[in-house]
C-alpha cells in the first residue's frame, strides 16, 4: 500500500504528503482525501451491515433454520465483520 501519511516524531499525530492533497475554497481534495472518504464509506457499510445481518439471523432463528446454509453463511459474515470492527477499535478508528 502506498502510504499518504507518516507519523510525526511526537508519535501523536500523522502528517499527509503535501503532494497527495490540495486545498481550495470548498475544502481539501486529492488522493489522500479520496482514500479517507472510501475508508469512511467502508466503515459505515460495516456498521449498517451488522444490524441488517442480525435481523436476518433473528428471522432465520425464529423459523428454526439455525442449521441452514444461509444461517451459517450470515453467522460467518457477522463474525468476520465483528473481527474487523474490533481491529478498527484497537487502532482507535
Instruction: Cite the DSSP H helix spans in the chain.
Output: 31-62, 69-90
Average pLDDT, the chain: 93
11, pLDDT greater than 90: no
Claim: this prediction has a pTM higher than 0.85: no
- Asked if residue 66 has pLDDT above 90, the reply is yes
- Number of domains present in the structure of the chain: 1
Give the end-to-end CA distance of the chain in Å, rounded to a whole number.
18
Residue 4 has pLDDT above 90, yes or no: no
* Cα–Cα distance, 60 to 45 (Å, whole number): 22
43 band by pLDDT with thresholds 50, 70 and 90: very high
Could you list the residue range(s) of the whole structural domain that residue 39 is in? 5-90
Residue 2: pLDDT over 90: no
pLDDT at 16 over 90: no
Q: Is the pLDDT reported for residue 65 higher than 90?
A: yes
Q: Are 20 and 10 in contact (CB under 8 A)?
A: no
Amino acid at each position: 500500500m502506498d502510504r499518504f501519511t507518516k507519523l510525526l516524531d511526537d508519535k501523536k499525530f500523522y502528517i499527509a504528503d503535501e503532494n497527495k492533497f490540495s486545498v481550495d475554497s470548498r475544502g481539501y481534495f486529492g488522493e489522500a482525501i479520496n482514500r479517507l472518504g472510501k475508508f469512511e464509506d467502508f466503515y459505515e457499510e460495516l456498521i449498517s451491515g451488522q444490524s441488517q445481518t442480525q435481523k436476518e439471523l433473528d428471522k432465520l432463528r425464529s423459523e428454526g433454520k439455525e442449521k441452514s446454509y444461509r444461517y451459517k453463511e450470515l453467522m460467518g459474515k457477522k463474525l468476520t465483520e465483528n473481527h474487523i470492527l474490533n481491529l478498527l477499535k484497537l487502532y482507535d478508528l
